[in-house]
């Protein structure tokens, strides 16, 4: 019997089936290499991490400060959120209030106390108390007006609690010191 010669192997097929790569295709790392890869310092490099965290926190705080000053709802504290609170802020910011002048009046009384005249000191002190009483009366009237305007706008059954107090407390702050900043001009009452 004559043997037929074997056909040549195709060029793409591997010449030897024993040489094929099986498994992961790379040598197993030694134990020392594995331990070195797992090693981390007990205390991470805190200088870089703290500096990076401080910079990120600073950016976030600045963004929140600008957002709060602009009246962006995402950055407002809970006491300032909502359409009713925005309405009250706009209502208060649109008017003139005696409470805004309490701080300057107190400074004037302190300056009057420096004067070495007991009559001036006495009357400046009395004038300050009279002014504070007028400011409190203005706050009470403003609170009632805010509640009435809010009832007209939002309905009597849907009014949040504390709108009058919120407006009264905002009215005793000087306009440029209020947060969120005033979004309306004086005389521009919300409808």
Its sign, for the CA torsion 174, 176, 181, 187, is positive
Query: Do residues 138 and 171 touch, judged by C-beta distance below 8 A?
Result: yes
Write out pLDDT tens, residues 11-58.
555 555 555 656 788 899 999 989 888 887 776 678 888 898 899 999
Residue 23's contacts (CB-CB under 8 Å, 6 or more residues apart) are none
Tell me the pLDDT tens digit for each residue of 47-104: 888 898 899 999 999 999 999 999 889 999 999 999 999 999 999 999 999 999 999 9
What three-state secondary structure class fits 173? coil
């Amino acid at each position: 019997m004559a043997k037929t010669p074997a056909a040549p192997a195709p060029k793409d097929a591997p010449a030897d089936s024993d040489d094929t790569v099986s498994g992961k295709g790379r040598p197993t790392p030694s134990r020392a290499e594995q331990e070195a890869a797992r090693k981390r310092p007990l205390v991470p490099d805190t200088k870089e991490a703290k500096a990076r965290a401080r910079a990120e926190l600073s950016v976030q705080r600045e963004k929140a400060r600008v957002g709060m000053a602009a009246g962006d709802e995402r950055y407002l504290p809970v006491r300032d959120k909502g359409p009713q609170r925005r309405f009250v802020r706009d209502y208060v910011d649109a008017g003139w209030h005696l409470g805004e002048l309490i701080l300057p009046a107190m400074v004037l009384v302190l300056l009057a106390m420096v004067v070495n005249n007991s009559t001036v000191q006495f009357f400046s002190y009395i004038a300050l108390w009279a002014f504070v009483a007028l400011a409190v009366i203005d706050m009470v009237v403003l609170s009632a007006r805010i509640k009435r305007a809010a009832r007209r706008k939002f309905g009597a059954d849907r009014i949040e609690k504390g709108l009058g107090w919120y407006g009264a407390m905002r009215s005793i702050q000087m306009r440029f010191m209020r947060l969120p900043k005033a979004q309306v001009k004086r005389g521009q009452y919300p409808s």
